Structure 1
Amino acid sequence: MTQITISELPQTLQTLINEAKKTGEPLTITENGIPLAIISPIKKKSLLEVFANLEDIDEEFPNVDEGLLPLDEIEL
């Protein structure tokens, strides 16, 4: 299958694809009412979904406060 970049497409098609990316709705390209192609934007995972799927880190996290002066008394 041939691959091209979006910048190689006509401006009208680039605009439609960008709108589909923003809305998340698929874009159907038709000829005489017959669908030729359906472009469906890929749903990006939220940061929470990415973190939920990360593997646990087995190594001990270093003490990043070591050697720092103590904090001032903080009142909220």
Structure 2
Amino acid sequence: METERRVRLFRNGRNQALRIPRELELEGDEAILRKEGDQLVLTPLKRKGLLAVLAELEPLDEPSPDVGKGLPPADNVSL
């Protein structure tokens, strides 16, 4: 696969844009663009699964609320 290709820059409204050739396309629909000196570096963002996001959360320092408080016992519920 080619890793380098000459492309043309164009205007899209007030933004400068370029078309990414098919052989250089990135997966996903989001990326981070940063400038390093005279170069632009484009890094694709990979979506994390829910378990990965939850694993990154800090534990809570407060107790969980009693969600059953004030509700009748389960054996007294009529349908």
Same fold (TM over 0.5): no
Quick check: which one's strand share is greater? Answer: 2
Q: Quick check: which one's helix share is greater?
A: 1
TM-score bin (small chain): 0.3 to 0.5
TM-score, length basis structure 1: 0.44
